[in-house]
Structure 1
Amino acid sequence: SEQTPLLPQQQNVERKRQTTGATLVLMSPIIMFFVFMIVSRLCDAYDRAGPALDRDRMRREWESEMRDHEKIRQERIRARFAWDDLKGDQHCLQHGMRRYTARIANVPREYDPATACTETAVEIHGMRIPSPNRCEDRGCGGVIGHWLVSHSEPTCATHFDNFKDKESFMSRDDCYPRIESHLENLQPGDDWRNMCSTTPANFWGLHFDGPGVCEDWVCCPF
């Protein structure tokens, strides 16, 4: 069959295609050479950095293991802490509250006893208290923990009863009723001022955190 002769424009396109193909054929070895060189350099860089990266990873793992080990060691030390001679004060501190004290014990020499005091829980009246209200360093007497316990202290539960409406109290602008009541359940030796001023009261549908005035009426024989 006869071939149709190419037009001049088609001949130019064909020549460019042939030229481009020949150029790519000639440049292929050069391109492959550069690709090989780049890959080789990357491999060499990885081989050189590999040991350093491994050492850094091993160092981080070792540091993490040491931190975990130290944490476990500290927990074992704290687990041995104990409170010695836990006791409550003879008298109430205020309404419903008594102070308790104890000395922190079983603290090794390398551990700060004041820190041990703040980190050690105690159980009083069946309730776990995470830490003392304060820690007192008494030197050779050890470190003493102080707790202010306001639960399950029935002998400190003072209350008011039998409210009496007395004469009104006059101020500059208003007239206020004067209500009196006797403080009940006050134990001998307790500070009546603290116990009275912190004892709440409820009457006439109102709540009061404490009286406005506390007075100690001492009855003297005539």
Structure 2
Amino acid sequence: MSSLEKRQAADLPKYAKIRQMNRGSYDQSLVHEILDAGLVAHCGFVHEGRPMVIPMAYARIGNKLYIHGASTTRIIKNNKDGVPASLTVTLVDGIVVARSAFHHSMNYRCVIVHGTARLVTNPEEEVVALAAITDHLLPGRWEECREMLPKEHKATGVLVLEIEHASTKVRTGGPVDDEEDLGSEIWAGVVPVVTALGQPFTAADVPENTPVPASVPAASKKFA
């Protein structure tokens, strides 16, 4: 950990501190890199005294994360006034196969975000957020779509999570076996896990010869 990260860690609340630093970091550029490469965020909040974790699409704009859902869902309607929340994004890069079951692991990149979530009430910010979420999954798709209808805006809620604290954990490399197991005939290594988008299937009611929009190959390139 760098001297800067040590100073940052000293000022963090306990819940935001990394317990074991051998794979951890507070590097905000790495935080942004992982967030921008992810597809799904798991969002944690408390509802009626119970912890809830919901997978959601998201987008990052600067130091803010936007998530959206139906305006009637618990995560939207019960958190409108601003509540503590947590969000994680994990990218799995490989299954690490060791000679003993104990040392099996995964190669991964993970971000843990802590902040305060509030309902977006400004109509202009809501549109910017929805465009960002759409374009995060399919770059340029927002401009390819028709404009949202008033009833669609009414049915949609957007939360913004201000990133107050964020950390990462990353594992790379092969298995870390016990010395006495090295050289045995038990296979060990890494099985890569690759995220890729498949061939798009055109909906049955799309007119014949309608080309696949530019956002689709852009997404395939982004998540390759």
TM-score tier by shorter-chain length is under 0.3
Higher relative contact order, chain-length normalized (CA < 8 Å, sep 6+) = 2
Report which of the two has the higher share of strand.
Answer: 2
Report which of the two has the higher share of helix.
Answer: 1
Using the size of structure 2 for normalisation, the TM-score is: 0.20
